[in-house]
Chain A
Amino acid sequence: MTPAPLPPSALYRHCELDQLGIETTAELEIDDGLIVQERAIEAIQFGIGIHHAGYNLFALGPSGTGKRALIHSVLQTRARQEPVPPDWCYVFNFSDAHRPRALRLPPGKGAVLKRDMDQLVEDLHRAIQGVFESDEYRTRTQAVEEELEERQEKTMGEIRELAKQKDVILLQTPTGFTLAPVRDGKPLGPNEFHALPQEERARIEQDIDSLQAEMRKALHQMPLWKKHSDEQIEALNREMASAAIQGPIETLAQKYAELAAVLDYLSQVQADVVEHFRQFLPNQDKPQPLMGLWIQPGAEGPPWHHRYRVNVILGHDEDGGAPVVYADLPAHHQLVGRIEHRAHLGALETDFTMIRAGVLHQANGGYLILDALKLLLQPFAYETLKRLIQAGEIRIESLAQITSLISTLSLEPEPIPLDVKVVLIGERHLYYLLCELDPEFGELFKVAVDFDDRLERDGASQRVYARFIAAEVRRAGLRHFDRAAIGRIIEQSARLADDNERLTSHMRSIGDLVRESDYWAGVAGRAIVGSLDVQRAIDAQIERADRISRRLREETRRGTILIETQGARIGQVNGLAVMQLGGYAFGHPSRITARVRLGEGEVIDIEREVKLGGPIHSKGVLILQGFIAGRYALDYPLSLSASLVFEQSYGGIEGDSASSAELYALLSALAELPINQSFAVTGSVNQLGEVQAIGGVNEKIEGFFDTCVARGPLQGQGVLIPAANVKHLMLRADVREAVARGQFAIYPVSSIDEGIEILTATPAGERAATGEFPPETVNARVERRLIAFSDRLRELSNPGNDGPAEHASADQGDHS
């Protein structure tokens, strides 16, 4: 039975405005307005609730569906109730300067410790200067020095006294000492000496020799005394320094009594300050000249101050909850942090104060959201992330280090334990590719959060949409939307979902539409956005993008592209294709032709032969062959050679939505019945002749409608669509109006027989109990043609044989 055309009411599902329960968005007090997807939320709750290794999340779904916003919102809600993670600081490692120590502190304590250490350095300056300028220190130092001096002078004095007894004096020379004989307090010159008697001279020489021997002995002792004295003063220095710093350090130690790591650090600071107490004395702060230049210390104080500073790489508020961090650029160094360098006199130098946190530090103890594609595009970032998650610690290494591009001495900061839930966000194909290609991926991202790209269209989801619109209005400071405008957006959402029973979850598109509607309302001078403004925005979107579709229609109208919308043709049908250019999809008719002749049972798909047809399209054509072979002339070999082609198609063709059209063209050619060119056809077909649903039905119908309007006159044209696609219809108003006026029709067909009847205005015909189709039906004509081909083929193969039918039956009988 030939199906009736669809009534206008079946072509579009209006929004039931009463269900919204509001007049304008001004009545909705809403902040986030997220499109809640329960399945996804349950998966997120599971993923963040389970605390075992590898239970990180991958949120998959089309971009623009609000994945990140929803995940961020859910994580934020949970994170607020979770404990604040600890602060982390890097401090100087006094035993190995190249490996800075990491200090874990309670939340908020990092900044406090930093301030305390800065203050400590100032306090130590005062305290150390104080003790080393004290009378006690001066006195004790002088006592030690005087002891040495006395010892030396005593020894030298003894020598001098000894010398005096022997009329010899001890003299200083520019570089040392010498002994000289004297008379009457004055040294003897050579003349006076030689004037002395021989015995006297000999005695003097002997005395001086013995004194010189004493002198040698004394001089040999002096360095040892000096060393001993130095040691005494050094011990005194350490004692004084210890005394000076004990107070400030103990005060700090009491403050941090419950933090063993800090106490340990403070004890190391104490030991180091004692070791380097001279740094705190005033003359150590003076800049040292280098090559004639005076290098002033920076604002942060002299370089040696740095060793007592605290680098708070991660500080938290005490009541801020766990962190939720989104990294918009997940490069390697952004993930793990980096070690900065400063240029100093032509060289690059660094220290632990120049260690900078990465997003893993910032998210540690909380949640890290990353865009999977961006992560994969950054060199080594994905590998680094996996390695750190597996290791459970953050190790700051530069790319140059891990790739061994440089091997200069640098810092190796102590790793920080990592406890973070990582949420990757990406397209579905990315998730499946990672599952397929990376064995570690499944171990580390065990929770898939699958976001749907469509929502069921009901009262609840429509109200959710209204809340989303209200939130957008509030967020972007837009005009409020009235009820009709909201309804029109919901209807457009159903159109974007290609389903009048569903709504799209592609919130970016809806957000764009909301903002553009506001713009057009502004242009029109309206205070409230109405449905006309929404429609204007939709139309403008199309106008901005439909250059190609206009061009195609224009060339069709001008006869460059051969499309007929009137009359009838054998073996020719109007197929419908959808083209997607950027974000805009549109339909356009395409002539499909079929030619048949005697052959060996093959249907040639010209598109496939020239490699313009994709695999799904080729599959559709092969299904036609199966349908023909399985329905007609079952007792005869299929002796058909058919060729199918999309006329004037110069690009690739994919999909099987034209397979029913191709079958109609083939049946028309076989039955030699013309097809009404007022119709266009879409739908795939199976081997049983059932017409199956296809995508883009609205664009296809509108594409043919636009072509018919362009060619004119619009008079009884229509489109055959699969009956299963009726629920997807959300057609434009002008199409609906044409249908209402009877100028255009949409036929839902379930089988090839229904379709061919409409197209040829001839009954398809059902096989009777006799095994034959009613005469002059489409099927009967097709079968008769195929049998004729078969008979002719047999004649040509065996020129002397009897009638073909009998022989064929005999063959059939033999085989059975």
Chain B
Amino acid sequence: MSSETQRRPVRRIAVALDATPHSLGGLALVAGIAAALNAEIEGVFVEDTELIRLAGLPFLREFRAVTRGESLLDAERLQRELRAAARQVRAQLERSATELGIAWSFRIWRGDLEAEILGAAHDAELFALGRLGRFAPLARRAPSRAARGRTTDPLVGVLYDGGEGAERVLAIAAELMMRHPVKLIILLQPHHPEEAPALHRRAAEQLGTIAEQVRMVTLAQDQPEDLAATVRGCAIDLLILAAHNPILSQTQVWTSLEHLGCPLVIGR
């Protein structure tokens, strides 16, 4: 990895948001990262047009999560509710950014979530993504009550395969650790098991003096299930990976997110 690549600062972090509580939960974490990296945060509110299209089917019912009431799907009402949700998300983004003193922007993106959402954020250096729209978790519970009293630092995982993109995201994570109270865990992703020690050394070299404070875990297999098990087992709050990482190409991104159970930050 060239030192130039490592030194290039992150100018903007995009975060995909929608009306579900999960995306708002991820917003706070990403805003903190943006502040640490002195980057602008861009909120991208996603309106899944597929949902609007469904309103034309008269036999479909919408079940309210809180009141458990039912109603017909009404396109106009759905759009109004989505706009209202977008305003709330925008306000939340503004509050978070103002509190942290970072620049922010907000835009609404309408389209087919599955096909085009990743393309929507191509111009962002870091793109934070949780489970959105029809891929969001079905449970709509509030954030954990245990978390209210939690004072431990968030645990940020970095998926590292030694590639250029991986070096870049590792550099970002290291910078984040030095500027922000987070703990770092490197998930080494060797192509062959024998490459693991070398990968470990390279990562340690790149981390330099902070390497001793960073835990490194080698993934046993290059499988999404193994990665998901490690992420859950280590209670990783956020996973940073490069855009070219196979985990994104092997399976549909939404499936990956479902397995991992934590938001992703994709670095370019």
Contact = CB atoms under 8 A, between A and B. Distances in A.
Interface of A: 129, 132-133, 137-138, 141-142, 145, 148-149, 152-153, 156-157, 160, 169-181, 185-191, 193, 205, 208-209, 212, 215-216, 219-220, 222-223, 226, 233, 281-283
Given A177-B62, A205-B59, A219-B63, 11 more contacts: A141-B144, A149-B141, A171-B133, A174-B84, A178-B61, A181-B57, A187-B51, A190-B53, A190-B57, A223-B68, A226-B141
Interface string B132-176: 011011111100111011111000000000000000000000000
Contacts of A226: 141
**3 A-B pairs closest in CB distance:** A190-B56, A141-B146, A189-B53
Contact of A169 (B57, B62, B78, B134): B134
A403 to B, nearest CB: 50
A172 B60 contact: no
Nearest to B112: A186
Given A141-B145, A172-B20, A176-B62, A156 B57 contact: no
Contact of A176 (B53, B65, B82, B151): B65
B51 A149 contact: no
Contacts of A190: 53, 56-57
B81 interface: yes
A133 B151 contact: yes
B137 A153 contact: yes
Interface in B114-133: 114, 133
Nearest to A204: B59
B150 A178 contact: no
A178 B82 contact: no
Given A141-B146, A174-B78, A189-B54, A148 B151 contact: no
B54 A283 contact: no
Which of A169, A174, A282: most chain B CB closer than 10 A? A174
B64 interface: yes
A175 B54 contact: no
B262 interface: no
A177 B19 CA distance: 13
A652 B73 CA distance: 110
Contacts of A141: 144-146
14 contacts: A133-B152, A156-B138, A160-B138, A169-B134, A172-B20, A172-B138, A174-B82, A175-B64, A178-B54, A187-B53, A189-B53, A212-B61, A222-B68, A283-B149
Interface size bucket, B side? 35 or more
Contacts of B50: 186-187
Contacts of B114: 185-186
A178 B151 contact: no
Contacts of B62: 173, 175-178
A282 B148 CA distance: 10
Interface centre among A129, A186, A226 (most CB of B within 10 A): A186
Contacts of B85: 174
Nearest to A128: B149
Contacts of B146: 137-138, 141-142, 145
B148 A283 contact: yes
Contacts of A222: 68
Given A149-B141, A153-B139, A177-B65, A133 B54 contact: no
Contacts of A173: 51, 62, 73, 78, 81
A180 B68 contact: no
Contacts of B57: 180-181, 188, 190, 193
Interface in B8-49: 19-20
Q: Which of A133, A191, A209 has the most CB of B within 10 A?
A: A133
A180 B70 CA distance: 15
Nearest to B80: A174
Nearest to A157: B138
Contacts of A171: 51, 54, 133-134
A632 to B, nearest CB: 115
Contacts of A178: 51, 54, 60-63, 73
Contacts of A212: 61, 63
Contacts of B137: 153
Contacts of A177: 62-63, 65, 138
A138 B81 contact: no
Nearest to B59: A205
Given A133-B150, A219-B63, A219-B68, A153 B138 contact: yes
Contacts of A157: 138
A142 B233 CA distance: 13
A208 B59 contact: yes
Contacts of A153: 137-139
B31 to A, nearest CB: 19
Contacts of A176: 62-65
A673 to B, nearest CB: 117
Contacts of A179: 60-61
